[in-house]
Amino acid sequence: RDNTIMRGSEALWLAVLRLDKCVSLLIYTGPDGEKAWPKKYPFCGGVFQSPIDFHKDILQYDSNLLPLEFIGYNVPSTDQFTLTNNGHSVKMYLSPTMCIRNLPFEYTASQLHLHWGNRNKSEGSEHTVSGKHFAAELHVVHYNSEKYPDITAAMDKVDGLAVLAVLLEIGPFNPSYEKIFRHFRNVKYKDQMVQVPGFNIQELLPDRLDEYYRYEGSLTTPPCYPSVLWTVFRHPVKISQEQLLALETAMYCTESDDPEPLEMVDNFRNVQEFHERLVFISFREGKLYESVSVSIKCLSWPCLTSDICWFSAISGLFLCRPHI
């Protein structure tokens, strides 16, 4: 069988991000930065956006939250992942035999990627905890394979995606992350690709997988569809200062023949308005709120044919009342 793991379903994702310059779409600061995204991508200015800040006032303990079950995460070295520079991050396509359970559906792995800052200010995580940024953040993206055939079909559906987020901080050298980081020199420029021998992707996650934040949010890059069930692990994973510096300095947004190369830095979105949501936590810490339901006017997502939508903290679901 073909050991190169890069499914055709990702072709659309790559095509959307094929830009002449990274500033054409995914610049994060300045007049054309993330504040301008809603002009072209309306969902980026909508509700239920990510990332967010986790602070005590929005946390609610949920005893029904279970540790995730990881299937097929230990990929043999005879298989290969495809690592690519897509112009705004470094992304590695994952095996279609990988999936996670103990969520509302079974979700199949698609890809992982990273967000980071720059060598002068290593505060590159997207999610924050009580206002604190971490050095970087890893996202492992999955799609709802019980309902949709691939990530392209799932990415704009309210129950389409599940993303695992790992906060990264400075500490000892991490040999598991080095299995990816050592290949950065081969994806220095946009559209470059390299094959990475398979390994156990669960090594990239924290040891305590039973403690996490859970909420419904969005993609953190355009088109910002509010289609993501987020699991953000409570405990950070450590990488060395040298490894972080490699992440912050190794790659460019531009192609190899561009006369004005642009460093790939600060590719993280700022925290977004929370819009009356709650974050459910699997651990007993923080201020716990009573279960409530907050009604809001439905805009355009996800209840395209409904009048009123609300987030039920009792069920943990986003509910809509149909037109009468």
Catalytic member of 55, 88, 113, 133: 88
Give the three-state DSSP class for 11: helix
The angle formed by the CA atoms of residues 65, 70 and 75, to the nearest 5 degrees, is 165
φ, ψ of residue 179 to 5 degrees: the values are -65, -25
94-126: burial string, b at 16+ Cβ within 10 Å, e else: bbeebbbeebebbbbbbbbbbbbbeeeebebbb
* C-alpha span between 41 and 37 (Å, rounded): 6
Q: Is 88 a catalytic residue?
A: yes
Strand partners, 232: 165, 213
Please report the beta strands in the chain, taking only residues with DSSP state E, as ranges in sequence order. Answer: 4-5, 53-54, 59-61, 69-71, 80-85, 90-93, 99-101, 107-116, 128-129, 136-144, 161-170, 193-197, 212-217, 228-233, 237-239, 279-281, 293-297, 306-312, 317-322
Residues 6+ apart with CB under 8 A from 139: 112, 113, 114, 115, 163, 164, 165, 166, 220
Residues 6+ apart with CB under 8 A from 57: 287, 289
- Residue numbers annotated as active site: 88
